[in-house]
Amino acid sequence: MADQAIRKAPLAGLRGGSHAAILTPAAPASRISLRAGKDAVPALSAALGVTLPLRPKTSASSGKRHALWLGPDEWLVIDEDGADLMAAAASSGALHSAVDVSHRNTAIIVSGPGAEVAINSGCPQDLSLGLFPVGACSRTVFGKAEIVLLRTAEDTFRLECWRSFSPFVFGLLSEGAEDAAH
């Protein structure tokens, strides 16, 4: 009998896509779902080391830490180095609500000239560069799953979804990536 439970990433070992849109499971990261009023934004921004954006569909990044606007008082903060975001938010001293969702979410990196087409196979948003430029982010839907999209480069998106939806999302994205190659 095993002495220890082994943590397994939801999409561990998967690779997929096509030459037009490559799908790569993102490395584990820490994440918080952050809710706060406008008054708390300066202190939280200072404590987190990244300026919480206040405009719809925008994000801010500082190194490997990203703050994504999800709603008027809601952000998804991601740290690709796995830093303790809960402690950082708590150190702000400002009134806020932070929930650690590091293991609720997983992410898929979609990259290549067909990345937009692959994502649009299940997502209704206009992802053209004019309306969804580099740095733009949004909570939206992909097929029957809710996702959060972040455009990290002209041809690259970080697609966050809940881990229990990730096999579905990866499967549908694979189909979309195949279609994008034709």
User: Binders of other proteins among 9-38, rule CB under 8 A?
Assistant: none
130 binds other proteins (CB under 8 A): no
Is 162 buried (19+), middle (13-18) or exposed (0-12) by CB count in 10 A? middle
CB of 153 to other proteins, least distance (A): 22
Pairwise CA distance, residues 46 & 89, whole Å? 9
Pairwise CA distance, residues 80 & 46, whole Å? 19
67 binds other proteins (CB under 8 A): no
Hey, CA dihedral for 133, 134, 137, 140, is it positive or negative? positive
70 binds other proteins (CB under 8 A): yes
> Using alpha carbons only, how large is the chain's radius of gyration in Å?
17
72 binds other proteins (CB under 8 A): yes
CB of 91 to other proteins, least distance (A): 27
151 binds other proteins (CB under 8 A): no
CB of 28 to other proteins, least distance (A): 25
Is 115 buried (19+), middle (13-18) or exposed (0-12) by CB count in 10 A? buried
138 binds other proteins (CB under 8 A): yes
Q: What is the DSSP string of 55-73?
A: STT-EEEETTEEEEEEETT
The smaller minimum CB distance to other proteins, of residues 134 and 141, is found at 141
The smaller minimum CB distance to other proteins, of residues 35 and 91, is found at 35
Residues that bind other proteins (CB under 8 A): 56-57, 70-72, 74, 124-125, 131, 138-141, 146
